[in-house]
């Protein structure tokens, strides 16, 4: 019982945060908003999965990845491939020259299903791939980078390049991936129509529950030795290494967890929104995911979820009303949050709580941004090189 | 016969594709030179570098518009002035950015990366608001048009030759500046050991500011050169930013020769692969190869031999 309370639910503050979030997501939003907006919030929550992963990776471990869109896309495309295959059964595609294959393959004169697509006819395999494929890619990338002690800015640039390669590669192979339009017209999952209002609500609640579960899992993960390791890694990585720990394996593990979270977010995105396209997985969306985290407060799991919700809602509202202003706002957000509020919403909340309700803050929590020790040291090019 | 082409055809393709690769090489190199000195000097990743390039290109466009409207007789000569002006505008703006933004973030390289990305978004939208979303081309002087006919099957466009000449002059200039001037000496000293340089009486903060502004100015010249081979849109800078960063990282980050070699390799590879593969796949292949090589050899081609 104690373990459940202290480790999984995160003690008093964790329980409070989870409860507030559950009330907001499961009760307030479905009651207060119309179905269209509930569906939109569900879409934002998919990005919140990626933000959670980044909070772990960037906020807790000090590794900034600018390529989380890659994992979001891998999860999304795995799901979309299954749904597309189910949507393009021979009967509904009988007007094509080759019935039974997705429409964009037919437009590109493909005569039969590519071997890559065949396993995605089965739902269990697709769901497995949603988790396994991002893990595998993250493991390979992490192994190559962290084993050689590559980190910091360098890691950010390489992951950004990976996101670019992924989106360009999808864009360039229209016959196999749907190209720039992406995979669209998704209809059913195992016969269950995902487009009805009823299904949208079920998917929304499933997304919320999965998100809360992920937060609890991350809290459990960080309450033990892993949390101490991450704190030590962020503060003095070299000392941890001298003490005989294999720091790189911890980093690879964290990177894989973040990738899986992004992949799940991508799959849920496809289920709720009904399509996936390269424009959702490239450089720009990947770096936008980082701003959710920066706004929310990079180390706080609850903060980044609210950050993802707020930034996305702002984007939807503003880019409709003033399309010109949105990029200015986004740019201003990047600069402002980095220069003025490096602890984001969560930092502001903590500060406000301490001022207004000191009795609510039994122990002073320290969520302030801690940079790795190397970054505090005098900046030198040697510090930048891996 | 290979791929259905005869050998002499293949030779012509090879020469012309390598030449178009050389134009890409020039633009990438000019971009990467600025990035290398900024990154090597201060460890700051300037994601707005592409927008500085676009700023240079728009400066040339503005000059061309003004010249066309007020004194068309100057058309043959304005371009050289415009290049210098592009350098001045961009380096001044770089100075402003360093003073107002970058200098607060030296100790947080990841945050400076995000802040410069924000700056690039703002600049992109400003270009869109000022110059419109459509791509623009300045009126080029006549002497930049046309092509040299080397043989009956090989043609080399003059603008490409001009861009290459400009790149050569600029690269030599930077090399000379870095290795044979007092300020260059200070810059190299700061790269090698910041604390000791400070102790020896070099004002490292001033050197930083100067370096950042110089790098931005070079990006402006890259943009000016870019106008002769392509049209400029609000997002044409961001199209090159990942490529140029890969060039910098691939080249080993701090040394000029590494940057030159890697820019050459990446540009030539892309240009030749683009002929044999459709669309963007050539670029994807080359970028993938570069990333894989970087994973195997993370310090790049020419790592500087200082102990970290």
Q: What is the pLDDT of residues A119-171, one digit of tens each?
A: 998 999 999 999 999 999 999 999 988 988 887 888 998 999 999 999 999 98
> What's the pLDDT at B246?
87
Q: Which of B104, B242, B253 sits opposite A164 (nearest CB)?
A: B242
Choose from A371, A384, A386 for mutation: most chain B CBs within 10 A: A384
Tell me the C-alpha distance between A198 and A276, whole Å: 22
- pLDDT value at A380 more than 50: no
> What's the pLDDT at A286?
93
B1 touches chain A (CB under 8 A): no
Choose from B38, B101, B121, B131 for mutation: most chain A CBs within 10 A: B121
> What's the pLDDT at A379?
38
Cβ count within 10 A of residue A305? 29
- Integer-rounded Cα radius of gyration of chain B: 20
Residues of chain B neighbouring A371 (CB-CB closer than 8 A) = 107-108
> What's the pLDDT at A27?
87
Choose from A59, A143, A288, A334 for mutation: most chain B CBs within 10 A: A334
**Record: contact A169-B284, CB cut-off 8 A:** yes
Task: Express as a percent the part of chain B with pLDDT over 70.
Answer: 95
A196 touches chain B (CB under 8 A): no
- pLDDT value at A315 more than 70: yes
Q: Is A192 helix (H, G, I), strand (E, B) or coil?
A: strand
Tell me the C-alpha distance between B285 and A74, whole Å: 19
Tell me the C-alpha distance between A344 and A297, whole Å: 4
Q: Which of A160, A378, A380 sits opposite B242 (nearest CB)?
A: A160
Q: Which residue has the higher pLDDT, B106 or A363?
A: B106
Residues 6+ apart with CB under 8 A from B2: B10
Q: State which residue of chain A sits closest to B125, comparing Cα positions.
A: A327
Residues of chain B neighbouring A179 (CB-CB closer than 8 A) = none
Q: Which residue has the higher pLDDT, A210 or B279?
A: A210
Choose from B109, B191, B245 for mutation: most chain A CBs within 10 A: B109
> What's the pLDDT at A76?
95
Chain A, residues 319-338, CB within 8 A of chain B, namely 324, 327-328, 330-335, 338
DSSP annotation of A278: G
- pLDDT value at B300 more than 80: no
Q: Is A189 helix (H, G, I), strand (E, B) or coil?
A: strand
Q: Which residue has the higher pLDDT, B19 or A35?
A: A35
Tell me the C-alpha distance between B230 and A267, whole Å: 39
Distance from CA of B68 to the nearest CA of A (A): 30
Residue ranges in chain B assigned as alpha helix (H): 7-42, 49-70, 75-100, 109-131, 158-180, 182-192, 194-199, 204-229, 236-250, 256-276, 281-296
Residues 6+ apart with CB under 8 A from B108: A338, A342, A371, A375
Condensed to tens digits (0 to 9), the pLDDT of residues B127-155 reads 999 988 888 888 888 787 777 777 777 77
Residues of chain B neighbouring A69 (CB-CB closer than 8 A) = none
Q: Is A340 helix (H, G, I), strand (E, B) or coil?
A: coil
> What's the pLDDT at A355?
79
Q: Which of B108, B117, B194 sits opposite A371 (nearest CB)?
A: B108
Tell me the C-alpha distance between B232 and A301, whole Å: 42
Sorting pLDDT into bands at 50, 70 and 90, what band is B1? low
DSSP one-letter string for B152-178: SS-EEEHHHHHHHHHHHHHHHHHHHHH
DSSP one-letter string for A152-177: HHHHHHHHHHHHHHHHHHHHH-HHHH
Sorting pLDDT into bands at 50, 70 and 90, what band is A370? very low
Tell me the C-alpha distance between A33 and A29, whole Å: 6
Can you tell me which residue has the tokens 């609510």? A360
Tell me the C-alpha distance between B59 and A176, whole Å: 42
B246 touches chain A (CB under 8 A): yes
Tell me the C-alpha distance between A53 and B211, whole Å: 36
> What's the pLDDT at B105?
87
Chain B, residues 31-70, CB within 8 A of chain A, namely 39-43, 45
> What's the pLDDT at A265?
96
> What's the pLDDT at B279?
64
Condensed to tens digits (0 to 9), the pLDDT of residues A228-247 reads 888 888 888 889 889 988 89
Q: Which residue has the higher pLDDT, A336 or A324?
A: A336
Structure tokens that stand for A192 in this block: 């269950």
Q: Is A333 helix (H, G, I), strand (E, B) or coil?
A: helix
Rounded average pLDDT over A220-226: 87
Rounded average pLDDT over A313-319: 88
Condensed to tens digits (0 to 9), the pLDDT of residues B70-126 reads 888 877 888 889 999 999 999 999 999 999 998 888 888 888 888 999 999 999 999
Rounded average pLDDT over A59-80: 93
A368 touches chain B (CB under 8 A): no
A160 touches chain B (CB under 8 A): yes
Whole-structure pTM value: 0.87
> What's the pLDDT at A48?
95
> What's the pLDDT at B307?
47
Average pLDDT in chain A: 85
Sorting pLDDT into bands at 50, 70 and 90, what band is A378? very low
> What's the pLDDT at A94?
82
A161 touches chain B (CB under 8 A): yes
**Record: contact A324-B254, CB cut-off 8 A:** no
- pLDDT value at B261 more than 70: yes
Sorting pLDDT into bands at 50, 70 and 90, what band is A110? confident
- pLDDT value at B218 more than 60: yes
Tell me the C-alpha distance between A142 and B33, whole Å: 29
- pLDDT value at B221 more than 80: yes
- pLDDT value at A383 more than 50: no
Condensed to tens digits (0 to 9), the pLDDT of residues A276-298 reads 999 999 898 999 899 899 988 88
**Record: contact A386-B299, CB cut-off 8 A:** yes
Residue A81 phi, psi dihedral angles, 5° rounding: -65, -45
Residues of chain A neighbouring B51 (CB-CB closer than 8 A) = none
Q: What share of chain A is helix, strand, coil (3-state, %, to 5)?
A: 75, 0, 25
Q: How many CB pairs under 8 A join A and B?
A: 157
Beta bridge partners of A183: A276
Condensed to tens digits (0 to 9), the pLDDT of residues B13-38 reads 777 777 777 888 888 898 888 888 88
């Amino acid at each position: 019982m104690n373990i459940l309370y202290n480790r999984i639910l995160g003690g008093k503050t964790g329980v409070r945060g989870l409860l507030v979030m559950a009330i907001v997501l499961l009760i307030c939003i479905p009651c207060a908003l119309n179905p269209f907006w509930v569906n939109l919030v569900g879409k934002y929550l998919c990005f919140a999965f990626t933000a959670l992963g980044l909070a772990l990776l960037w906020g807790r471990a000090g590794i900034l990845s600018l390529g989380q869109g890659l994992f979001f896309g891998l999860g999304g495309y795995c799901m979309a491939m299954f749904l597309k295959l189910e949507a393009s059964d021979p009967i509904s595609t009988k007007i094509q020259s080759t019935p039974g294959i997705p429409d964009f393959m037919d437009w590109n004169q493909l005569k039969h299903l590519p071997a890559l697509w065949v396993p995605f006819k089965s739902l269990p395999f697709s769901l497995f791939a949603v988790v396994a494929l991002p893990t595998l890619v993250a493991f390979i990338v992490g192994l190559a980078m962290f084993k050689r002690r590559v980190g910091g800015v360098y890691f950010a640039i390489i992951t950004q390049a990976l996101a670019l390669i992924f989106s360009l590669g999808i864009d360039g192979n229209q016959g196999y991936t749907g190209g720039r339009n992406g995979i669209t017209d998704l209809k059913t999952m195992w016969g269950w129509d995902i487009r009805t209002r009823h299904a949208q609500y079920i998917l929304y609640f499933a997304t919320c529950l999965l998100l809360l579960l992920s937060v609890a899992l991350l809290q459990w993960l960080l309450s033990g030795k892993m949390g101490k390791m991450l704190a030590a890694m962020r503060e003095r990585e070299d000392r941890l290494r001298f003490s005989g720990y294999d720091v790189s394996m911890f980093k690879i593990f964290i990177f894989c967890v973040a990738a899986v979270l992004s992949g799940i977010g991508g799959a849920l995105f496809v289920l709720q929104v009904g399509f996936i396209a390269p424009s959702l997985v490239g450089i720009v969306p990947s770096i936008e995911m980082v701003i959710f985290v920066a706004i929310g407060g990079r180390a706080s799991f609850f903060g980044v979820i609210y950050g993802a919700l707020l930034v996305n809602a702002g984007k939807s509202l503003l880019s409709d009303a003033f399309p010109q202003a949105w990029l200015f706002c986004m740019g201003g957000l990047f600069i402002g949050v980095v220069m003025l509020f490096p602890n984001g919403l969560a930092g502001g909340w903590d500060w406000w709580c301490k001022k207004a309700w000191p009795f609510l803050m039994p122990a002073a929590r320290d969520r302030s941004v801690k940079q790795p020790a190397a970054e505090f040291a005098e900046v030198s090019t040697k510090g930048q090189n891996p | 016969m290979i791929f259905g082409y005869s050998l002499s055809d293949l030779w012509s393709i090879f020469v012309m594709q390598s030449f178009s690769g050389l134009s890409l090489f020039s633009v990438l190199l000019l971009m990467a030179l600025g990035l290398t000195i900024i990154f090597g000097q201060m460890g700051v990743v300037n994601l707005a570098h592409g927008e500085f390039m676009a700023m240079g290109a728009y400066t040339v466009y503005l000059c061309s518009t003004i010249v066309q409207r007020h004194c068309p007789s100057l058309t043959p000569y304005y371009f050289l002035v415009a290049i210098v002006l592009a350098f001045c505008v961009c380096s001044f703006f770089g100075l402003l950015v360093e003073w107002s933004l970058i200098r607060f973030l030296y100790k947080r390289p990841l945050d400076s990366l995000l802040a410069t990305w924000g700056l690039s978004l703002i600049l992109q939208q400003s270009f869109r608001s000022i110059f419109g979303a459509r791509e623009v081309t300045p009126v080029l002087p006549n002497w930049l048009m046309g092509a040299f006919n080397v043989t009956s099957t090989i043609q080399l466009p003059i603008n490409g030759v001009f861009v290459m000449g400009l790149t050569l002059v600029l690269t030599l200039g930077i090399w000379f500046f870095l290795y044979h001037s007092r300020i260059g000496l200070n810059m190299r000293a700061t790269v090698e050991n910041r604390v000791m340089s400070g102790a020896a009486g070099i004002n490292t903060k001033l050197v930083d500011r100067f370096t950042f502004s110089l790098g931005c100015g070079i990006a402006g010249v890259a943009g000016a050169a870019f106008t002769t081979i392509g049209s400029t849109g609000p997002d044409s800078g961001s199209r090159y930013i990942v490529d140029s960063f890969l060039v910098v990282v691939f080249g080993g980050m701090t040394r000029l020769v590494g940057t030159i070699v890697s820019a050459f390799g990446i540009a030539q590879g892309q240009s030749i692969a683009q002929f044999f593969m459709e669309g963007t796949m050539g670029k994807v292949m080359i970028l993938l190869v570069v990333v894989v090589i970087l994973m195997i050899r993370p310090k790049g081609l020419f790592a500087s031999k200082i102990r970290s």
